[in-house]
Structures are given as C-alpha cells and as structure tokens.
C-alpha cells in the first residue's frame, strides 16, 4: 500500500455520505473508501440517515423498505411527487436534509475532513444547502449513482458532480451551473477480473439442473420484486435454471424456494463468481447489481421494473444500449434467446457495457480537495 508521502497532493481526509437504503449506496461508498485508503488517504463513511434527529432516518428507511416491498404503487406516487421533475413548484428535499446540518458540520469538524462526497441524493441536498450558505467550509462532490437523474440529486451549492454516463452528465449541466464530469460507475476490481469462484457456482448449477443455462433474477438487498416466482416458472419452462437473488428477505426466499425448478439464494458474498457463472441477469432496478453485471460482462435484461427510479433507470439503460427492456413474458424469452454464446448480440452488448467504465472517480475527488 502506498505511504502517506506517496499520496497525490499529500494525505487527504474524506468524508463519504452514504445511506442505508438497500445495499447499493453503501457498496459504492465502501469501494471509494477502499481506493482512498490504497492511495494513503483517510476515508470515513457516514450514514446520512443516522444524522437526522428524532429517529427520522430510521422511519424513512423503514417506510421506503415497506413501500418498495409491499406497496410499490405508493412508492411510485412518492417518486413522481418528490423526485421526478415536472411543471410548477415541486416538493424539495432541503427541509428534511437540513435537519441533519448541525450533525454533519460537527462530524466534518471532528474528523478534519478535507472534502465531502455524497453518494445519496438526500446527502447531496444537505451538502449543497450547507455549501450555499457557508455552513460547510470544505468542498462537496456528488457521485450521482443513477442512470436516470432525478431532481433531488441536484443542488447548485455543490462544487462538482460525477456521473455514470455522458447522458446523465448532460442532464446535470442543463440544470446546474457547476462542473460536471463523467467517470463511469465504481465497482470492486474483482468484478472486472477472472472470477475464481465461478467454477464452484457452475458446479452447483450443473448438479441442480444439468444443461440448463442459469439466469439470474435480482430483487436487490431487500428482496423487492414483482412476481419473481412467476418469472422463475416461465424461465424454467423455457429450459433455463432460474437463480433468484432474494437478498436479506427470508420470506421471499422461502416463497421462491417452493418453486421446485428455481434456486433461491439469500445474501451472496461472492457476487463476482456468481455473475461470471450465469447466462444473463434479469434486473428490475438499474442499480448496483446491474452495474456489477456490466463490469463482469454479463448481459442485462430489464423485466418488471420497480416503479419510480427502477422504471426510469432501466429505460435509460435501454436507451444507452446497456440493457434490453422486456415488457412481457414473450419479450423476455425472446431477449434471452438472442444472447446465445458467441452470438453477435451478446458480444456487442458485453462490449457496450464495459465502455461505461471509463475513468477514476477518486481522481476527481482528490483533485477537488486539493484544487477547490
């Protein structure tokens, strides 16, 4: 590991603001922190929800979790009102975010942070609000993790935005007069390297269903998905082995396990190996699992997306040629059929997916900290 003297611009102290909403934000925050430490910097990850007073963060997380799992139509309505753009005055996230202002400035002072990096939209509202009013004296970068940009990510007080794609960066530039750069996503190096664990997964699949290509169905860390058992039955009837990622939702895992042809998995630690061993990913949220699949060279098909950010995200991924949206069962089977090994369709999709990994987000953060 480099020494602190080797670190570009000297040793920096970074505060990364994440949120315990599923696992995607925390996964990115942890990888940024790992990379920073590898360059001799200090990095601390904080949950912006824990900075909210009166237990509001816990209530927000539980409400979001319950709605995406059990009342997705309700979450879709909240998303439409608070996050998606539209005519006239729209509700802002600033009143909620600024409740965490005192705790954040105290944390920045206590840790001596040289830069704050937000990887969650509520954190971006908080840092932008504080920077605009002089309450946050160090630069603020926002790493915008969504393929589809919603307005709660956007605040003119932030110093720099890092985006996954040129399309997202262009959208931010149309809304804000701040520096914006395209860095691509951040994933652990294991997703872009040969996966030693893939052989074990292939052996497991072969024992379970010899000759059936394994198709991975993602329900995210919270196990939020629309009719995953029905999708699993469809895939099994078509000759595939449905492998359902249930995350930490044990009720969902028990439900899917009743499908004799499906393999229901709980929390998986070896995601690089699992992705490398599968035929395709059926995704519903355009989140971190989809990004990891792109890095691993696994084609992504969107099916039954979650309302709100899931629907907008998978549509944007489709527009960019990074995935294919299958609106119904026949379309899903047709999309899978076009992805045979060594086909032109599969080769092109894998190549397009890997083009999004183009830069180093950490470089943009350290540059902002040393040249604000």
Of the pLDDT bands very low, low, confident and very high (cuts 50, 70, 90), residue 344 is very high
Mean pLDDT of the region 102-110: 96
Q: Are 315 and 326 in contact (CB under 8 A)?
A: no
How many residues comprise the chain?
Answer: 372
Residue 13 has pLDDT above 60, yes or no: yes
User: DSSP letters of 138-202?
Assistant: S-EEEEE--SS--GGG--TTSSEEEESSHHHHHHHHHH--S-EEE------GGGGS--TTHHHHH
Distance (Å, whole) CA 168 – CA 152: 14
Phi, psi angle pair for 307, to nearest 5°: -60, 160
Nearest by Cα to 151 from 86, 75, 78, 77: 86
CATH 3.30.160.60 is the classification of domain 191-355: no
Domain boundaries, the chain: 4-187+358-370, 191-355
Question: pTM (2 decimals)?
Answer: 0.92
pLDDT, residue 285, reads 92
Q: Three-state SS string across 302-329, please? A: ECCCCCCHHHHHHHHHHHCCCCEECCCH
* Residue 293 CB neighbours (<10 A): 26
* Residue 145 CB neighbours (<10 A): 25
pLDDT, residue 360, reads 86
Residue 170 has pLDDT above 50, yes or no: yes
Nearest by Cα to 357 from 167, 182, 172, 168: 182
Lowest-confidence range among 71-75, 147-151, 206-210? 71-75
- Decide which of 141 and 80 is more confident: 141
- Decide which of 5 and 87 is more confident: 87
Distance (Å, whole) CA 82 – CA 240: 40
Lowest-confidence range among 9-18, 84-93, 344-353? 84-93
Domain 4-187+358-370 identical in fold to domain 191-355: yes
Of the pLDDT bands very low, low, confident and very high (cuts 50, 70, 90), residue 6 is very low
| Region 4-187+358-370: CATH code | 3.40.50.2000
Residue 2 has pLDDT above 60, yes or no: no
3-state secondary structure of 345: helix
pLDDT, residue 5, reads 37
Residue 362 has pLDDT above 80, yes or no: yes
Q: How far is CA 282 from CA 231, 285, 292, in A?
A: 10, 10, 13
CA angle 109, 113, 118 (to 5 degrees): 110
pLDDT, residue 1, reads 30
Mean pLDDT of the region 338-352: 94
Of the pLDDT bands very low, low, confident and very high (cuts 50, 70, 90), residue 87 is low
Q: Are 23 and 30 in contact (CB under 8 A)?
A: no
Of the pLDDT bands very low, low, confident and very high (cuts 50, 70, 90), residue 7 is very low
- Decide which of 95 and 264 is more confident: 264
Facing residues of 128 across strands?
none
Mean pLDDT of the region 346-351: 95
Percentage with pLDDT > 70 across the chain = 96
CA angle 184, 189, 191 (to 5 degrees): 85
Model pLDDT for residues 39-66, shown as the tens digit of each residue: 999 999 999 999 999 999 999 899 888 8
Nearest by Cα to 332 from 305, 302, 306, 360: 302
């Amino acid at each position: 590991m480099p020494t602190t003297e080797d670190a570009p611009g000297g040793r920096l102290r970074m505060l990364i603001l994440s949120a315990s909403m599923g696992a995607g934000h925390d996964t990115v925050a942890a990888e940024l922190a790992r990379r920073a430490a590898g360059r001799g910097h200090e990095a601390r990850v904080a949950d912006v929800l824990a900075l909210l007073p009166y237990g509001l963060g816990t209530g927000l997380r539980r409400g979001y979790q319950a709605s995406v799992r059990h009342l997705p139509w309700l979450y879709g309505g909240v998303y439409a009102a608070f996050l998606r753009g539209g005519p006239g005055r729209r509700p802002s996230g600033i009143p909620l975010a600024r409740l965490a202002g005192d705790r954040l400035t105290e944390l920045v002072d206590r840790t001596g942070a040289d830069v704050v990096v937000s990887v969650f939209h509520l954190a971006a509202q908080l840092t932008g609000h504080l920077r605009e009013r002089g309450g946050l004296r160090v630069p603020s970068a926002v790493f915008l993790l969504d393929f589809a940009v919603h307005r709660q990510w956007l605040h003119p007080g932030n110093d720099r935005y890092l985006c996954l794609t040129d399309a997202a960066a262009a959208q931010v530039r149309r809304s804000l007069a701040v520096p914006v750069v395209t860095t691509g996503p951040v994933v652990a190096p294991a997703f872009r390297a040969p996966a030693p664990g893939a052989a074990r997964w292939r052996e497991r699949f072969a024992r379970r269903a010899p000759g059936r290509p394994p198709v991975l169905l993602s329900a995210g860390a919270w196990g939020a998905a629309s009719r995953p058992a029905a999708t699993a039955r469809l895939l099994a009837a078509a000759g595939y082995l449905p492998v359902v990622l249930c995350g930490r939702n044990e009720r969902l895992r028990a439900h899917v396990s009743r499908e004799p042809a499906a393999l229901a998995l709980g929390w998986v630690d070896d995601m690089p190996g699992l992705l490398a061993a599968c035929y395709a990913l059926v995704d519903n949220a355009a989140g971190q699992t989809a990004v990891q699949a792109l890095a691993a060279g696994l084609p992504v098909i969107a099916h039954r997306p979650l309302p709100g950010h899931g629907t907008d995200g998978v549509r944007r991924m489709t527009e960019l040629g990074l995935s294919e949206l299958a609106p119904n069962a026949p379309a899903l089977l047709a999309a899978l059929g076009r992805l045979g090994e060594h086909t032109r369709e599969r080769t092109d999709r894998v190549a397009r997916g890997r083009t999004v990994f183009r830069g180093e987000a950490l470089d943009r953060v350290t540059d902002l900290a040393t040249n604000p």
